[in-house]
Amino acid sequence: MQEKFVLALGQHNIPGLRWVLEGFNYYDIQRVKEVGADRAAAEWIVRCGGKIKFSQIDESFEDYNCLVKRTAQLDPRLPEDNVTLETIRAEDASITGFGCRHFENLSAIKNVYFIRCKNLHDFGLEYMGQHVGNHLKTLHLEECRRITEFGLEHLSKFTALDKLILRNLKSVHGKEKVEQKLRGALPKTDIQFEV
């Protein structure tokens, strides 16, 4: 019983406490102005239980305190201190679709992995497509139970994708038709469709 509670707590999945989940995914415009879009998005992912990698820093971050401590030394007004987010890996993280507003102004993001993000929904793919669809190279969606065929329609905006991995998306209906549309919309993309 205690293990289930700890798991639910880590995933911010406690009935009656959805506001906590939305708080972790809140898009703070003031924070974006203070530290820049890349650092604000990195803080969001790590705060929700994910892992990130900047282009200019060798190490990856999955601990919020380590991330803030390391980036606090940087002045976002100086070009040499301006870090860009390269990779997001969120496994069992409490990412929501509304949190994906953080993708706005991420100009160097290359790889995004959302695995078992139970609260990620279709709006997240729409936000991502609008803001990073023209330069994201790899997108991996696996066991995200709130992603539907309607959300996958937004993947046609991801024109720069080299690789698209879709696995075990239980809420996607009409899988053959969805796959056919994706292959038509993204002819240059290596698509692994195992939903």
* In the chain, domain spans: 1-193
What is the pLDDT, as a whole number, of residue 6?
61
Q: What is the pLDDT of residue 15?
A: 63
What is the CATH number that goes with domain 1-193?
A: 3.80.10.10
Whether the pLDDT of residue 152 is over 90: the answer is yes
Residue pLDDT, tens place only, 34-56: 999 999 999 999 999 999 999 99
Return mean pLDDT, the chain: 91
Nearest C-alpha neighbor of 189 from the set 153, 165, 173: 165
Can you give the pLDDT at residue 13?
60
* 1 pLDDT higher than 80: no
Tell me what the mean pLDDT of segment 87-103 comes to: 95
Helix (H, G, I), strand (E, B) or coil at 190: strand
- What is the pLDDT at residue 148? 98
Look at the alpha carbons of 83, 84, 87, 89 in this order and tell me if their dihedral is positive or negative.
positive
pTM for this entry:
0.90
Residue 10's nearest CA partner among 86, 92, 72, 89 is: 92
* pLDDT tens digits for range 62-79: 999 999 999 998 888 888
Report the pLDDT value the prediction gives residue 24, as an integer from 0 to 100: 78
pLDDT at 71: 94
pLDDT band at 174 (very low <50, low <70, confident <90, very high): very high
Q: What is the residue whose two structure tokens read 């969805």?
A: 178
pLDDT at 19: 52
Convert the pLDDT of each residue in 5-32 to its tens digit: 666 655 556 666 655 666 678 899 999 9
Separation between Cα atoms, residue 60 and residue 53, nearest integer Å: 5
